[in-house]
């Protein structure tokens, strides 16, 4: 199956989000602000790949590699009941698709969240050596939601909005911004759900917030 067909198949499944529930990582909202919310995520497992190139070419490569894995470029573990004739296991699509550009590396890292029924030990083995697995530990995340098509300038704009809001509120983060995408490429831009995320390492204490409010300044 070609990369183009794999991407279209992935897109078709994501487009069905309105008709059926697509599994997402579990979290609870611990705080809400004007521009973002703070979420406490439970651990989850991702399949990921590292690709080079500009955003558009990296998108095509990253989606294609990971879509290939979940749609059959894998070898099922012994004892799995849903094995296809070729010995592969079809894995359900989830959301969001997460991408980030590490500061110390060229290119992008793309991640598909794996269904919660899987662990690192039970996921089918990838036939493509570019696919690897990682468990994302429980963590706090600041998420800023926006709509529109996936363009670098739009992403950069909303990263700046979130960074300023977090700085003003005294929220400390670590790592590079993450782009989370929940919809298929052919969904109209105004209907798309996109998010910029940062991992949070510290929230201001209630006393810091109180003192900042009294002083008329953001909490630091």
DSSP H/E element including 213? helix 206-215
The number of beta carbons lying within 10 Å of the beta carbon of residue 194 is 21
| Total-model pTM | 0.82
Q: Mean pLDDT per 10-residue run, the chain (220 residues)?
A: 53 47 93 95 97 87 96 85 74 95 85 96 96 98 94 94 95 96 88 96 71 55
DSSP H/E element including 202? strand 194-202
pLDDT digits (tens, 9 = 90+) for 54-96: 888 888 899 999 999 999 999 998 866 566 667 899 999 999 9
Tell me if 99 sits within 8 A of 175, measured CB to CB: no
67 vs 91: CA distance, rounded Å:
10
125 vs 75: CA distance, rounded Å:
5
183 vs 177: CA distance, rounded Å:
19
46 vs 96: CA distance, rounded Å:
11
User: Which domains occur in the chain, in start order?
Assistant: 3-215 (3.20.80.10)
What DSSP line would sit under 46-113, residue for residue? Answer: EEEEEE-SSHHHHHHHHHHHHHHHHTTSEEPPTT-TTB-TTS-B-----S-EEEE--TTSSSEEEEEE
209 vs 127: CA distance, rounded Å:
51
């Amino acid at each position: 199956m070609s990369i183009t067909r794999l991407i279209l198949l992935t897109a078709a499944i994501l487009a069905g989000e309105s008709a059926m529930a697509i599994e997402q990582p579990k979290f609870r909202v611990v705080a809400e602000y004007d521009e973002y919310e703070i979420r406490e995520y439970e651990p989850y497992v991702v399949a990921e790949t590292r690709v080079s190139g500009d955003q558009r070419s990296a998108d095509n490569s990253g989606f294609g590699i990971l879509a290939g894995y979940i749609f059959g470029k894998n070898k099922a573990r012994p004892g799995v009941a849903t094995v296809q004739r070729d010995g592969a296991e079809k894995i359900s699509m989830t959301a969001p698709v997460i991408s980030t550009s590490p500061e110390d590396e060229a290119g992008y890292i793309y991640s598909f969240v794996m269904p919660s029924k899987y662990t690192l030990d039970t996921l089918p083995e990838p036939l493509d050596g570019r696919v690897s697995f990682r468990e994302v530990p429980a963590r706090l995340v600041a998420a800023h939601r926006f709509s529109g098509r996936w363009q670098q300038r739009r992403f950069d704009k909303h990263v700046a909005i979130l960074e300023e809001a977090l700085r003003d509120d005294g929220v400390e983060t670590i790592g590079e911004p993450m782009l989370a995408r929940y919809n298929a490429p052919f969904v109209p831009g105004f209907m798309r759900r996109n998010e910029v995320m940062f991992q949070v390492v510290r929230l201001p204490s209630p006393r810091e917030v109180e003192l900042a409010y009294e002083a008329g300044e953001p909490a630091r």
